[in-house]
């Protein structure tokens, strides 16, 4: 059985193809600039050269058709025909108060999900386009919705309620929801395995730092608090999103600059964050290169981002009372030593110390690494996230009738002997170039 997972953005489609029987990733890739012109696909398959080609995708349907064509391509493909695909798992960003778990997609689901578009106007409509496109291209194949917000349904009311008029909550669903749920779920289960602990007796702080970024306090294996709120705009400084700001700024700029609500929404979502600080760069790699050359604005952007992460670490430490591990994950979290350094600098009195030498070496997408420093009471890990595997396992469980919420369900990656075959293959290549990685690789249990 093959399961296809799709993560559809407004102008991109990420995908992964998983062979359930072999427990192996057959291929993964992304189509960029969907609907914008100049579209291209980057396709990576085991044992084959990367396939990169320009192909116009004016709609998401065309993009998914291109993915399926590539999967059965005689040279770059990984399956003989499309009949082996038995399920498609979709990342659905905002489930609101309607969806607290992954679900099978039917007409009732689609109608209800559309009602939530206002809660995530940049994400939910794109997710729906992906579902409609997949249904059109793969009729008869079961579609599954994997909710980004589901992981955070265990938050207590004192963590998710805002101090705003009660009517806003009761009539308009205004509360903290949280996002990056599949990433946080994966990391919570993996780190418990690494520690050799019962996941439901484990306290963690996990920082998912990418273009979008959020941080999660995990108490006894469940989400306790998180930095993103009603929308994915709140919390940490991000690539183009502001994160926490004084709400008064919005009214100030509407009065002073004559901005409308839609103008402010666009600027806070697409023109702020490190892009707003620097005026030039949203990609942290560009900022890092400029900072290394002494660019003061790039250095400031790094300091602001690291400082905000550090404040959240301190707050969540206080909320949890005891922390077993601090985890960095996602693109910047996995590959950004400077960000990790700035986020942990000065936390020695909290018992958080990183080994700066190990931190500088910890840049790898194929291995679980430890950068804990001498005397640290809290272990510090750099863990490659795997949201696609969570989506795959939930999809399989949904179509076979074995699915349950994570507190009642056992994922394969919770096991000590779990191996990601694709990453093992990649790690072999990494170690050939970077043999020092072997000294910071951590093995479960």
Active site residues: 148
d(CA 407, CA 78): 34
Comparing C-alpha atoms, which of 379, 355, 353, 365 is closest to residue 439? 355
d(CA 12, CA 31): 5
How many residues are listed for the chain in this entry?
A: 445
HSE (side-chain half, CA atoms, 13 Å) at 428: 5
Residues 6+ positions from 118 with CB-CB distance below 8 Å? none
Q: Is 241 left (phi over 0), alpha (psi -120 to 50) or beta?
A: beta
Residues 6+ positions from 344 with CB-CB distance below 8 Å? 310, 313, 326, 352, 353, 354, 380
């Amino acid at each position: 059985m093959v399961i296809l997972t799709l993560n559809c953005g407004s102008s991109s489609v990420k995908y992964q193809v998983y062979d359930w029987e072999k427990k192996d990733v057959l291929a993964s890739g992304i189509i960029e600039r969907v609907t914008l012109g100049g579209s291209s696909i980057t396709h990576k398959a085991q044992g084959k050269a990367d396939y990169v080609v320009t192909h116009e995708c004016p709609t998401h349907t065309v993009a998914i058709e291109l993915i399926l064509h590539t999967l059965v391509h005689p040279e770059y493909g990984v399956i003989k025909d499309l009949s082996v695909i038995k399920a498609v798992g979709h990342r659905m960003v905002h489930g609101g108060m309607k969806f607290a778990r992954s679900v099978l997609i039917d007409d009732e689901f689609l109608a209800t999900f559309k009602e939530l578009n206002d809660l995530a106007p940049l994400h939910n409509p794109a997710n729906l386009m992906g579902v409609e496109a997949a249904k059109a291209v793969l009729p008869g194949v079961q579609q599954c919705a994997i909710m980004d917000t589901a992981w955070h349904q265990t938050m207590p009311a004192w963590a998710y309620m805002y101090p705003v008029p009660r009517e806003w909550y009761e009539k308009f669903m205004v509360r903290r929801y949280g996002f990056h749920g599949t990433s946080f779920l994966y990391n919570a289960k993996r780190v418990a395995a690494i520690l050799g602990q019962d996941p439901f007796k484990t306290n963690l702080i996990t920082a998912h730092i990418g273009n979008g970024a959020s941080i999660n306090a995990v108490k006894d294996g469940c989400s306790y608090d998180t930095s993103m709120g009603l929308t994915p705009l709140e919390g940490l400084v991000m690539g183009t999103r502001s994160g926490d700001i004084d709400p008064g700024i919005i009214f100030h700029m509407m009065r002073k600059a004559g901005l409308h609500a839609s103008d402010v929404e666009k600027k806070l979502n697409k023109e702020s964050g490190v892009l707003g600080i620097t005026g030039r760069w949203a990609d942290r790699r560009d900022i890092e290169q400029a900072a290394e050359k002494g660019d003061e604005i790039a250095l400031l952007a790094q300091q602001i981002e690291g400082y905000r992460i550090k404040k959240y670490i301190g707050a969540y430490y206080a909320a949890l009372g005891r922390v077993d591990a601090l985890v960095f994950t996602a693109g910047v979290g996995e590959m950004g030593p400077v960000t990790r350094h700035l986020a942990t600098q000065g936390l020695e009195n909290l018992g958080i110390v990183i080994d700066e030498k190990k931190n500088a070496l910890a840049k790898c997408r194929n291995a679980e690494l430890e950068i804990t420093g001498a005397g640290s009471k809290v272990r510090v890990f750099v863990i490659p996230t795997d949201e696609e595997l969570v989506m795959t396992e939930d999809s399989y469980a949904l179509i076979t009738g074995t699915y349950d919420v994570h507190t009642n369900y056992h994922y394969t990656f919770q096991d000590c002997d779990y191996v990601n075959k694709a990453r093992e293959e990649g790690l072999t290549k990494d170690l050939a170039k970077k043999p020092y990685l072997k000294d910071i690789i951590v093995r479960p249990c």
